[in-house]
Chain A
Amino acid sequence: MPLLNHMKEHRARLGLNQAELGKLAGVSRQTISLIEREDYSPSVTLALKLAKIFGCPVEDIFEYLEEERK
């Protein structure tokens, strides 16, 4: 999946654990963990929600990489 993310760094910056972030974003802790492990690409709605929580543009959290990662 060519979607790289910096969720862990942003989460650490705010001092939140996965469960707390999940609660704020309205998803489970497991979903936050899946996104951080790059096992799941969030929907646009969830990505925007996360960006709002972190207080930064969505591009700062998620990076779309072309085929180079493959």
Chain B
Amino acid sequence: MSRKKKEKKGFLSMGGKILLGAVIGGIIGYMFGDSDSTAVEETANYFLDMTVNAYRPVMIIVTLCMLLLNLLCFFKLRSCVLQAEGCKDEEKSDLLDDKIDLISTLCLSGNGVFYILLFFTYALSYIRGDETDIMKVFLFIVPVLIYPTFNILIINLLKRHDPSKKGVPGSVCFQKDWMESCDEAEKMRTFRTSYQTNIASCYIISIGFCATAILALFFPVGVFALFITALMWLAQTIITAYYDIKSKKEKMM
């Protein structure tokens, strides 16, 4: 396909996506929309109050889900590592390696989501709740301890699978040591992932800032939300520029 045709196809695809978004947004707006902004505010407040009132069950559910995810991932990972140890078939080894990568990534991302939910509920219970409850501190500490415990177990399994990997889980230098023990293909993959993550987070933060600025016109979003998103955007830009300049000064190999 020629470049012009590709460009034309790209523009058409983008136009199609915008149109699709407009149609879906229109339908949702028609079905659930309310020109009165207080209705949206009231709904948001209702859900926030509901979360605050039920923070104990919410936190227990999050903790149980987190525990279940970590247990499942740990046992599945252990089974894959044990299978890989005695595996002579190279194709099967490749499949097992892919599985090991997938399970460890799933576990990490799942824990991230549960952490966000937990912190959000815990913070809400303080901001909106008026009671001093020792139980919520306990419900907060337990899941906070689950993650590092399983993290150590999972890293030890990954180190057993690939003994060349270095780094003590929990140490401040863990990520640096782990990265240094990776070979060139693993480093290349990590760099590619980081680059794509940087692009995606740049989009998300800039869109988040614009959305906060626009929403501030209609809802009492507050200056602090605008300030935080602006700060995140600024920090990301400065950090990217800093590492870009730093890496240009360093040797590539």
Contacts and interface: CB of A to CB of B under 8 A. Distances in A.
A45 to B, nearest CB: 7
Interface residues of A, number: 16
Interface stretch (B9-17, B57-65, B89-97, B131-139): B89-97
A28 B100 CA distance: 14
A27 B185 contact: yes
A26 to B, nearest CB: 7
A45 B185 CA distance: 13
Nearest to A35: B185
A46 B183 CA distance: 10
Interface size class of B (residues with CB under 8 A): 10 to 19
A53 to B, nearest CB: 15
Contact of B183 (A17, A18, A26, A33): A26
Contacts of B164: 28
Interface of B: 88, 90, 93-94, 97, 162, 164, 183-186, 188, 253
A29 B183 contact: no
Interface of A: 17-18, 26-31, 33-35, 40, 42-43, 45-46
B41 to A, nearest CB: 52
Contacts of A29: 93, 97
A40 B191 CA distance: 14
A30 B185 contact: yes
